[in-house]
Amino acid sequence: MRIARYALDASEPQFGIVELAEDNGEHPDTVAAITGDPLAGPVNYTGERHALDEVRLLAPVIPRSKIVAVGRNYAAHAQEMGGEVPENPLIFLKPNTSVIGPDDPIVKPAGAQELHHEGELAVVIGRICKQVPVERVHEVVFGYTIANDVTCRDWQASDGQWARAKGSDTFCPLGPWIVTHLDLAEAGDLQVTTVVGDPRDMDAAETRQDDSTALMVRGISELVSHISQSMTLLPGDVVLTGTPAGVGPIEPGQRVVVSIQSIGELGNPVVAEQ
């Protein structure tokens, strides 16, 4: 199942179930409206259905409390950043105010010099949990989506910590929807690709990242279990699992697209702060 959050014209955001042509279903490339919040309890179809190209897809989840991200979880990325994989998972937080959705602009702040993309798999938590054993992580995962852990490298270097460099407004694109039908094994072996280019000719875009989540040093179960030892996870919390090698600069006027096998693609334009 693919759960999207969307708006139609000036309507309030609502949730829906997405059906794609590849599913060979009765309603290809549509979204069927549902009642309520799927993270809060049972939902029902309303009978309302729209073509995907007629709605505006939003971030599929706005975390109620936090986004927990993991640094240097791919050996090649740690190496390209001039470091090594840490002995323990490197954990940091991004505020929910950094979240944007598909096609929303990533804003390069005034004064920022080096803005980078970091495409990665995101895990959406489905229930309140604490100190989850590795073998029970599947019970607390609601689904998966795509994230771009946008990072200002010069601020990361100068500040001595990462709050501003990774937590500024628009620095956490999420989308296009939450996929709930993948199990942990499937999610642990998905191709992650990031391309950057001129939005007028994305066929000529440069491929920057192209690796599998199978190369994560620590898998999804280990990461979620580790995080839950020190902090309570709530429904709608998002865990970013780290980025593969190939991170690089993005500039105003470009478009960055992160694709993950079996999930979809998340594209955002880059603009300068006004």
Q: Write out pLDDT tens, residues 137-187.
A: 999 999 999 999 999 999 999 999 999 999 999 999 999 999 999 999 999
What was the pLDDT predicted at 9?
84
What was the pLDDT predicted at 156?
96
What was the pLDDT predicted at 16?
97
What was the pLDDT predicted at 136?
98
Whole-structure pTM value: 0.97
What was the pLDDT predicted at 106?
98
Sign of CA dihedral 37, 103, 257, 52: positive
Angle (CA) 117 246 250, round 5°: 30
What was the pLDDT predicted at 85?
86
Give the residues of the chain that fall short of pLDDT 50. Answer: none
What was the pLDDT predicted at 84?
85
The residue type of 150 is V
What was the pLDDT predicted at 132?
98
What was the pLDDT predicted at 10?
79
- Kindly give the pairing relationship between strand 119-125 and strand 238-240: antiparallel
Question: pLDDT tens across 27-48, in order?
Answer: 999 999 999 899 998 889 999 9
Contact 6, 57 (CB under 8 A): yes
What was the pLDDT predicted at 82?
84
